Amino acid sequence: MTDKRNCPVEQRSASWLRGMIAAVPIVLGYLPVGFAYGVLGQGAGLSTVNIILMSLVVFAGSAQLVAVGLISASLSPLSIILTTFIVNLRHLLFSAAIFPHIAHWRKRDLAVFAYELTDETFALHSTRFELQDVEKGEVLAINITAHLAWILGSWLGVVAGKRVLDIEPLALDYVLPAMFIALLVMQIKTHTQVWAALLAGITSVVLLLGGFNQLHVIIATIIGASFGAWIEGWKRI
């Protein structure tokens, strides 16, 4: 006979296990990109402790890579902080889009979720929330698993940093864009979403070539999302 007292524990364990399994595609992307960050951090003169602490406390791949580049260029701390802040402004959009699905959570759980929300986990959560009601443990397990993978990748990069002087021949710089493409394809289901994605992508590239190398993603996201919302509203008329 099954002990009913163990059911909640078993359910929580199963929920966390599902979240860890769901995070595997992100893990496969974070390990090599985190490795690249560790190598670059080592080359910029950061200590092992600082490299790992940045992955633990900041946990923002693009911001960390930008910060490492600015540190190697000997820019002032204020410039580094302001630049990485601008790079991460897109997280305001991510949080606003996800919040309706988790508004009933306790503030403590919301804080934990927000702390580990990234581009990739946002894309995965968005897809899963649209398809079904996802348990809190499963959601948090995805974030924590991704975070641990990033820290592990960073540490591996530090270990190999003295032997790997150039990451470009390893094509590690393409892993993150490839993962984004895969996550984007998973979310596109209508013609409107296709056009919105194309518009956002083209706008981002045009803005980047035009010199908006920090704000191009945010501006393109707003334009693409606004276009998609306008199309959906026009269809209902």
Mean local confidence (pLDDT), 149-164: 86
Question: In this predicted structure, what is the pLDDT of residue 53?
Answer: 93
Q: Where residue 76 falls among pLDDT bands split at 50, 70, 90?
A: confident
Task: Say which range, 51-55, 206-210, 217-221, has the weakest mean pLDDT.
Answer: 217-221
Lowest mean pLDDT among 51-60, 87-96, 136-145: 87-96
Q: Which of 73, 78, 114 is nearest to 97 (CA)?
A: 114
The answer on pLDDT for 103 being more than 70 is: yes
Name the pTM for this structure.
0.72
pLDDT for the residue numbered 2: 41
Residue of 109 and 167 predicted with greater confidence:
109
3-state secondary structure the chain: CCCHHHHHHHHHHHHHHHHHHHCHHHHHHHHHHHHHHHHHHHHCCCCHHHHHHHHHHCCCHHHHHHHHHHHHCCCCHHHHHHHHHHHCCHHHHHHHHHHHHHCCCCHHHHHHHHHCCCHHHHHHHHHHHHHCCCCHHHHHHHHHHHHHHHHHHHHHHHHHCCCCCCCHHHCHHHHHHHHHHHHHHHHCCCHHHHHHHHHHHHHHHHHHHCCCCCCHHHHHHHHHHHHHHHHHHHHHC
The pLDDT of 95-121, averaged and rounded, is: 90
pLDDT reading at 59 higher than 80: yes
Span 10-24, pLDDT tens digits:
777 888 899 999 999
To the nearest whole percent, how much of the chain has pLDDT over 70?
A: 86
69-78, 106-115, 181-190: which is most confident = 106-115
Structure confidence at residue 109 as a pLDDT band (50, 70, 90): very high
Long-range CB contacts (< 8 A, 24+ apart) of 217-222? Answer: 217/90, 218/89, 218/90, 218/93, 221/90, 221/93, 222/93
- pLDDT of residue 165 exceeding 50, the answer is yes
**Average pLDDT of 96-119?**
90
Both tokens of 144, joined, read 């924590």
Q: What is the mean pLDDT of the chain?
A: 82
Is the pLDDT at 132 greater than 70? The verdict is yes
